[in-house]
Amino acid sequence: MEDLIKNPTITVAEAKRERKREKDREKEKEAKATLEAEKNLAKTRNRMRVLKLNEVAKPLSKDTKEKMLLMAVNRILKAEMSAVFGGVAGVRSKILTTLAATFNPYIKEAILRYITEEMRTRLDLALGWLYEEYALLQGFQRRTTLGTKPHEAPHQAYNFLLCTLISAIDEIQGKDRDPLLARLYLEAPLITEDAVEALKSVSSEEKRGLAPLVLLKDLVIMRPTKQLTFLNVLLCHTGHEKKMIRDSAISLVVELYERPELTKFIEEYTVLYLGFLRLQNPPEIVFGKDRGREQVEEQWSESTTRACLELYLAVLGKHQDLIHELAKVYSSMGADVKRIVLRLVEGPVRSLGMASPQLLKLVEMCPKGAETLVTRIIHILTEKAPPSVELVAKVRDLYQTRVSDVRFLIPVLNGLSKKEVVAALPKLIKLNPIVVKEVFNRLLGTHNNESGVPHTSPVTPAELLIALHTIDPSKAELKTVIKATSLCFAEKQVYTQETLAVVMQHLMELNPLPTLLMRTVIQSLSLYPRLSGFVMNILQRLILKQVWKQPKVWEGFVKCCERTQPQSFAVILQLPPQQLGEALNMAPGLKGPLLAHVEAFAENQKAHVPQSIMDVIQGKQTVDMHDDFDIAPPGEYPPEQRIETMDVDLSEPAPPGLD
């Protein structure tokens, strides 16, 4: 505009172009000035010396650096409350666990000591450290470059830390110990073999109680990757010497048996240990400190037998098919082991009940060599309850077709017919006296019956005693029958005088007269003297039946007359002269009292006594006889028939060949 005013001939356009050129010249000058200033600055910098920190600062020694680091860690450890109030407790824990996992042993030791001093409140910090070590172990994160090079493998550091924490918790006294231990095992990222062994050792201590065993069960359920490992530890304790540990472990394993993924494994274990009972000596696996048996034994004992059997018996209630495994093994067992097994099966078999299809199948099949086991099972089932129809049918069929051992019939006697019982009596009374007593207890209703069902028997007490008197002598010796009848007389609450009167009445009417008739008459009279009148009637009727034609019965007749004098004098005077003479020779003690008795008669009474009888009584006619009829005096029995019942289990049948 100024140019335009000075020189009006210049156009507006030219004036603008001139102004633009001036501005460009000014910018160019400024750029040259800036470039020159930068060049001068660069020259000045080239003349300055580079500052190096290591040249002006003294380096710290390794010990000083470690000391300062430890001091820093200690300050962090002491700042627990400040971190909590400041809301940075989580940050503090992360710093400590990282330092502990990645720095030198001095740091690890300081932090570990801090944690173990108060495990109750610092377990979270311990678990955080474990997870840091686990992350390093698995390669989830790299070690910091600030840390020292590790001197041990990652798995060793993790294992050391875990086992140290377990030991620290184990030293805690009080109720907090078990919950802390459980939390550590359940929340730790990895359970090492050493940690498993530590728990195995702890759970085998009776003083620790049930808690470690329950922890093992929880670990089986909640740690799937180590499930079989923990289950195996729990299974080991099912054979422990201490009853508390053994029973608790068995109970927990039975609970785990309900889990489908464990059923097969537990069954295989129980069958394996059951099979050990076949061995001549107990296996070494049932011995050891963790089993409570540090001393190896050469012979089977109840303890080692229980170690191999009790878990099987507990599982049997859950899986009844396993009963056949016992039958397979039983035949190969030693005699001592068999006795223990026969005693221990009582509880499990009783819980199964006689309605169990598998028990009925076992009775029906009865594997060879397992006869006493089957007999014992039948006996247990019927000990406190009458046999079922199905059980009686199975036993009857077994006895008639495959096994002729009469002991099979004992438990089901009350389910048989009268004819079957009478037919079996000759064999039954040949058994061990203890077993014979049990037979009579069942038939007479004097055995245990807790079922509430009234006792029923195929034979009455009178029919049983009569059947004993009529046993064929070719099937059982007279001495054996005498022992059996004595057992009957011992049951006074069953064999009342009324019952014995019925028996004697029936026996007297038999033809020929039973050999033991007069023995039974004498014993009845010894037990119940008020039967004397009835006995006199029996004696009179025996004269009518010419009792002297059966020598043994005749000798008993004379013995009875001798014992019942003077009531028997009236009966004796009814004998024919020859038989009277024989009787007086057989029992000389009768002659004097009988003579005195007759001489005391009035004249009209003497007139009714035949002269031939008087001649015999007065000794004018004699008959040579000798007494060889042995009848026990009243209330006494032959020594061999006395039954000692103390310290004997009447419920256990004798093994084959020992009856």
Encode pLDDT of 528-539 as tens digits.
999 999 999 999
| Distance of alpha carbon 526 from the chain centroid | 50
The DSSP 8-state label assigned to residue 324 in this structure reads H
| Distance of alpha carbon 639 from the chain centroid | 41
pLDDT at 1 over 70: no
Element (H, E) at 259: none
* pTM listed for this prediction: 0.71
pLDDT of residue 8: 53
Tokens representing residue 483 in the block:
């022992």
Q: DSSP for 624-650?
A: --------PPTT---GGG----TT--T
Tokens representing residue 231 in the block:
């289950």
| Calpha distance 444→435 (Å, rounded) | 14
Contact between 542 and 511 (Cβ < 8 Å): no
Encode pLDDT of 461-481 as tens digits.
999 999 999 999 899 999 999
More confident residue, 181 or 148: 181
Element (H, E) at 283: none
Encode pLDDT of 10-47 as tens digits.
566 776 777 777 777 787 878 777 777 777 766 666 55
| Calpha distance 71→63 (Å, rounded) | 12
Assign 293 to helix, strand or coil.
Answer: strand
The candidate with the shortest Cα–Cα distance to 103, out of 150, 165, 163, is: 150
Side-chain half-sphere of 538: how many Cα atoms within 13 Å? Answer: 31
The percent of the chain in helix, strand and coil, each rounded to the nearest 5, is 70, 0, 30
| Calpha distance 126→115 (Å, rounded) | 7
pLDDT of residue 603: 80
Encode pLDDT of 622-636 as tens digits.
544 444 434 433 333
